[in-house]
Structure 1
Amino acid sequence: MEWTGLNELREKFLSFFETKAHTRLPSFPLLPQGDQSLLLINSGMAPMKKWFLGQETPPSKRVTTCQKCIRTPDIENVGKTARHGTFFEMLGNFSFGDYFKHEATKWAWEFITEELKLPVDRLWVSIYEDDDEARDIWINEVGVDPSHIVRLGKEDNFWEIGAGPCGPCSEIYFDRGEEKGCGRPDCAVGCDCDRYVEFWNLVFSQFDNDGEGHYTRLEHPNIDTGMGLERLACIMQGVDNLFEVDTVQNIMKHISEIAGVKYHEDETKDVSLRVITDHIRSTVFMLADGVMPANEGRGYVLKRLLRRAARHGRLLGINEPFLYRVVSTVVKENEVAYPELKEKQNFLEKIIKIEEENFNKTIGKGFEILNQIMESMQNGEEQKTLSGQDAFRLYDTYGFPIDLTREIIAEKGFDIDEVSFTELMNVQRERARKARMSQDDVAWADETLGLAGVKTQFVGYDALKAEGKILALLVDGEKVETAAAGQKATVVVDITPFYAESGGQVADKGRLTANGCAAEVLDVQKTGTGLFLHSCEIKEGMLQVGETVQLEVMNAIRESIKRNHTAAHLLQAALREVLGDHVHQAGQLVNAHTLRFDFSHFEAMSPEEIRTVEMIVNAKIFEGLPVEVKEMKIEEAKATGAMALFGEKYGDVVRVVNAGGYSIEFCGGTHVDNTSKIGLFKIVSESSVAAGVRRIEAKTGMQILELLQETTATLHKAAAELKLSNPAELVGKCGSMMQELKERNQQIEMLNEKLAAMQFGSLADNATEIKGCRVVSAMMTDISTEALRAMGDKLRSEAPNTVAVLVGVNGEKANMLCVCGKEAVALGAHAGKIVKEAAAITGGKGGGRPDSAMAGVADQTKIDEALLAVPTILEKVLS
Structure 2
Amino acid sequence: MKSLVTNRLGLSLRWFSAYGPGTSGSRSCSGTRLPPAFKGLSHCSRTFHKYRGRTITRPIPPSSLENLRAVTTPCKSTKPLTTCTPTTPTATTTRTRTRTTLTTANSSTFPALERVSTGSAFSSSRLFSSSSSSSLVQSSTLPVMASDSQWTGVQVRKTFLDFFAERGHNVVPSSSVVPHNDPTLLFTNAGMNQFKPIFLGTIGKTEDMAQLKRAVDTQKCIRAGGKHNDLDDVGKDSYHHTFFEMLGNWSFGDYFKKEAIAWSWELLTKVYGLDPQRLYVTYFEGSPDLGLEPDLEAKNLWLEVGVPEDHIIPGNMKDNFWEMGDQGPCGPCSEIHYDKVGGGRNAAHLVNMDDPLVVEVWNIVFIQFDRQADKSLKSLPAKHIDTGMGFERLVSALQDKTSNYATDIFTPLFTKIQEVTGAREYTDKYGKDDVDGIDTAYRVIADHIRLLSFAIADGAAPNNVGRGYVVRRVLRRGVRYARKYFNAEIGTFFSKILPALVEQMGEQFPELVKKQTDIKEILDEEEVAFAVTLDRGEKQFEKYAALAIKSGEKKLSGADVWRLYDTFGFPEDLTKLMAEERGLTIDEAEVNEAREKAREASKAVKEAVQEFAKLNVHQIAELETALNIPRPNSDAKFLKGDTKGKVQLIFNGKEFLKSSKDLPAKTPLGLLLDNTNFYAESGGQVADTGRIIIDGVAEFKVLDVQEYGGYIVHNGFLEYGELTEGDEVVCEYDELRRQPIRNNHTGTHILNHSLREVLGDEINQKGSLVDQDKLRFDFSHKAAISLEDIKKIEDLSNHYIRQNLKAYSKDVDLDLAREIEGVRAVFGETYPNPVRVVSIGMEVDELLKNPKNPEWRKISVEFCGGTHVENTGLIKDLIIVEESGIAKGIRRIVAYTGEGAHQAQREAQVFNEKLNHINALAYGPQKAAEIKAAAVELDGLTISVLTKEELRTRFTKIQKEVVDEQKKRQKAESKTALDTVASHFQKDENKESKVFVGHLPISANAKAISDVITYYKTKDKERSVYVFAGSKDDQVMHGVYVGTALSSKGVTAEQWTSAVSAVIGGKTGGKEPSRQGAGAEPEKLEEAVKKAEEWLSEKLKDLSI
**Could you tell me the TM-score, scaled by structure 2's length?**
0.40
The structure that is strand-richer by fraction is 1
| Structure with larger Rg | 2
Q: Which has the higher contact order (CA 8 A, sep 6+)?
A: 1
**Could you tell me the TM-score, scaled by structure 1's length?**
0.50
